[in-house]
Structure 1
Amino acid sequence: MAYTDIVREERHVAPANYSMKIDSFSLLSEMVDNSYESREFEASSYRWKLVLYPNGDKSRNGDGYISLYLDKYLTIGDGRLKRFSAIKNKWGFPQMLSLSIFNNASNGYLIGDSCVFGVEVFVIKNEGKGEHFSMIKDPSDGAFTWEVQKFSELTAEFYYSPVYLAGRHQWKLKLFPNGNTKQRGKHLSLYLGLDDCTKFHAGWKLFVEFTLRIRDQVRSHHHEETIRTWFNASEKDWGLTSFISLTEIKNQSNNFIVNDTLIVEGVLNCLSVLKDFDGASLIRKEYTTLVL
């Protein structure tokens, strides 16, 4: 299929194979660099993904547009997935729709910061499967505090905080009081980890912007770092090996350690939410579906 073979049309029914509803589209555009990939879905014995560039695929002259692609995989005999072609595995629209038209609510593509993208691979009966992706900014329960007492007596390589429930997930902080790997003896290392990964579906991922902080307990001149990243099955915790130098920590004028207690904080600034979604339930009066 060449781009010249593409026919653009406006429809009144949801796409038959897969729908991807996105809430908080403005946050997605602001927080996530490059692209967002849907979960894998099956259509006509093949595995696929939708790949959305909310700010345009700049590598293909998509700047200023919504870019949307269909990424194809081939299922082979032993059940493994393999890209159908190493040369051309994605088809789609680098310039699907200009952002100026898309962002204009009167056009009906983006309503209440929500939109829907979809795909039909072949003409088949409606499978009705899909996903509902949204992003939450500053969740109300997204801050937690850990008082690390008797800091001078800590001798183990690392310590875990209690488990905190925030943003519908369980989290824990991981502290290396004397540093991790090459920073041992030089820096304190600090990480945020997910503690409830077993409840996620296969191939899960979770976008999080979070702040790690060590409190100045007198003047509020805290030391903090903010990180944006995707958590997944192979990366269940993120942080900084060189979070703060041990010299700074032990400098009494910084007030990080008071009465031999260090106060560590974690704050969730923004995180993604992914739910199963009945794509067949979409109707024209609620959303305009863009069909790839």
Structure 2
Amino acid sequence: MGLRFINSSSDVFKARETPPTHYLLKIQSFNTLLRSSLEKYSSDKFEAGDYKWRLTIYPSGNKDRGGQGHISIFLTLADTSSLPVGWELHAIFNFFVYDQLRDKYFSLMDNQLRRFHAMKTEWGEVKFMELQVFGDASNGYLINDACVFGAEVFILKQTRKAECLLTFGKPNVGSYTWTVNRFSTFTLDCYESPRFVAGGHRWRILMYPHGRDDGKGNSVSMFLLVDESSLPTDTRLVVRCIIRMLDQNVSKADPFEFTGDNHFGASNLVWGAPKFMPLAMLSDPNQTYLVGDTCIIEADVTLFGTISTTF
């Protein structure tokens, strides 16, 4: 058999031969339960995804939620007192009913994806199945007054990240000019400019006179470094940066520059260009970027806003 019937409140049921993975509940005398004053039955705890759950059956429907004339079935997260403050989890779950004549388990076609948290520890189907359909022996769900329900629960591992962007009405702009003397005598890998303030944060220009990374041996590498101590906790800066090598021919005034946007934060303190300027261009006597063994470097920092990980 394939599709069996259409539930009056949900979608078409589907069949499978394998029983539910996590829990089975057999009721030996359903009609006795139906006639009793017991409005619902909650199962013993069972474990799925490292959490404890209960399966709750309303044999004559959850009347408070409009389930009259149906079987209502719910999944409840138990033992939440041991969970941390602000907990939440997302679970995909399915409810099953057993067709004893055809040896198949039926469930709704759409898996349930729900968010459980302190204010919502229970989800389910108010109108899981019509009592009239359930009680018809030819359907196989209730045979000799016995029936079987089941549940599967799968927890979605949460890898979600979130951020909050705050943009300023007016960007915060700062600049700094660094005059570098005796360039030809530089033998160290890296030289740092004096500290300067831009956008309310402390910065330095880093110069690698003989290049870094893929600029090693062929370029001057230039970077901007933000002082981590000037960053608020768990905050990144939305910044547009311009690094220039000024042309010292005043009449020409043609700077060599590199521009880019970057998010500066604790895990990304440095940004720049490994191949900022070819060494051959800098040392070319026909160019006027290096004059009298002196070059002038300028940095513009425009802060547009901040990104935090809290709302």
TM-score (norm 1): 0.49
Q: Report which of the two structures shows the higher radius of gyration computed on alpha carbons.
A: 2
TM-score with structure 2 setting the length = 0.46
Give the structure with the higher percent strand. Answer: 2
